[in-house]
Structure 1
Amino acid sequence: MVDLLRESLSGRLAVVNGVGAGQGMSTIRAFINCGVKVAIISRSGDTHGLTETSQIRAFKCDSSDPGQIKETAKKISTEMGEPDFLINNIGKWSGGDDLENEEAFLEMLRFNTASQYNAIYAFLPFMKNKGGAIVNIGASEALRGASSVSYSASKYAIEEITKVLASRLKKYNIRVNSIKPGSVIKEDTFFNVFPFKFAEISEDKVLQPLEVAYISLFLCSKLAQSITGQSITADRGASL
């Protein structure tokens, strides 16, 4: 199964939009391990310790700005090729009381929701001709509501964007799915991408970043070629 996964991904180009020390970096490592070229998009332009090569490039961009992400999409497509996969990992958490703070509500929608939509809109012209896969990262909080109105709303919107775009983009052979992780620690405590080591993970409800990365790999691979418009909850049953 692992060989089939690698075979269907090797040589392709993935764009990872939104990279931190945890989930984003784990996703990058997982794709690189499968022979995938990776374009990293972040507001800092940092590679987070990875050495830039012809297979790994970092691009500084604030994807909440439509103009910036459009220019970055053109640059990546020119310098690295047209992408096969877009992983919308960008997002931030807010657990504060935002009922009396309109600006905080709008800022959360801009950062968590508009950033993902802008990236899809920017890369779509470069993905239409050959098809591919888009994975949007939401949150299981969208299922039950969180302490923050803005956070729950921004993540629930990702689910609707995913469903609508999956229907509209299937004519281009582009699959669109989302992942709703629960709480994820910032850094993995185990580092080998393969073989899978889920047996070593505790009963804790908190996820390792690689657990989310594995799902992204699957959704981008040919093993998931019949799956689109779906949202996968990965929270070890915390939302049940």
Structure 2
Amino acid sequence: MSYLEQLFSLEGKLAVITGGSRGLGRGMAEALLGAGAEVILVSVDERRLQSTERELSSEGLKATSYRCDLQSVDEIERLCDFVQQEHGRVDILVNAAGVTSGWNEVLEYPDEAWEKTLKINLEAPFRLCRGMAQLMTEGGGSIINITSLAAERGVPDPAYSAAKGGVKSMTRSLAVSLGKYNIRVNNIGPGYIRTDMTNLSWSDPELRERRRQSTILKRWGQPSDLAGTVVLLASDAASYITGQDFYVDGGWLVNFD
């Protein structure tokens, strides 16, 4: 194995990825598996988890799955306990699970939508960072959180924007706190990626084209576009990178056209 191959190799590493049964999470899970990591897929949807396991297996990629409702503090604690009991450590955590509220009218915004969005998008990532970091203190590790363009620009979903802005700031704080354990913490911020979460934009031809034109590269992204970034941040190639934001957005944020 060459020096560069060693830098990016994840052989012998254990990764836990939430939202791993579909969308961005699945795409990043495939990338980590392809780089040699052992991967535990986490999702609330057990049927989809099992289906994803089978599909990955047919591609020669072996993952295991764990059902967890990220709105439940108890279930998050049980997930951390499971990883500790079964493996004794974890090397990589990717907090990819996320939801949007489905609401954009502030005057009618329901408390339930606010609470669910914050629980899944902000509170759960913190609890997982805290729990999994305890399993990284001896050997170090990499935590990768998923922020959003909504952390940078105004979008009409206050709960989602607040959660993703919180994740962005939380990541910097955790990077400072966990650096002494050689635990690196970074953000990936996807742009307009073709997943279930972007169906509203994709299904409207006018909105779909507007999103495409808003990027410098003039195309929508695919989950596979995050593969290189997640492998980089998980690997020794990023051993001197922490507390940073990596936007994979086709140039959307810097485009003032």
Q: State the TM-score, normalizing by the size of structure 1.
A: 0.86
SS at match of 2:186: strand
1:23 aligns to what? 24
Aligned counterpart, 1:3: 5
Report sequence identity in percent.
30
Cα pair 1:16 1:86 within 8 Å, conserved: yes
Q: Which structure has the bigger radius of gyration?
A: 2
Q: Output aligned runs, 1:110-189, within 5 Å.
A: 110-186=119-195
**Aligned-partner Cα distance in 1 for 2:237–2:8:** 10
The corresponding residue for 1:221 is 235
- Aligned length in residues: 225
SS in structure 2 at match of 1:126: coil
Measured in 1, the distance between the counterparts of 2:219 and 2:156 equals 18
Equivalent residue, structure 2, for 1:62: 69
Comparing 176-185 with 96-105, which one deviates more in the overlay?
96-105
State how far apart, in whole Å, the 1-side matches of 2:105 and 2:180 are.
40
- Give the AA of the match of 2:65: A
Distance in 1 separating the partners of 2:165 and 2:190: 13
How far apart, CA to CA, are the structure 2 residues paired with 1:61 and 1:109?
Answer: 17
Aligned-pair distance for 1:213?
Answer: 2.7
TM-score by length of 2: 0.81
- Deviations along 1:27-86, one digit per CA (max 9) or x if unpaired, are 111111111100111112314332498952100111232221111111123224411000
Match of 1:49 in 2: 52
More helix by share: 2
Shift of 1:205: 3.9
Change (3 A) 1:134 1:231: same
Please give the root-mean-square deviation of Cα atoms over the aligned residues, in Å. 2.2
Q: Is 1:234 paired with 2:237? A: no
Q: What letter matches 2:164 in structure 1?
A: K
The amino acid of 2:63's aligned partner reads: I
- Following the alignment from structure 1 to structure 2, what is the Cα–Cα distance between the partners of residues 164 and 26? 27
With a CA cutoff of 8 Å and minimum separation of 6, indicate the structure with the bigger relative contact order.
Answer: 1
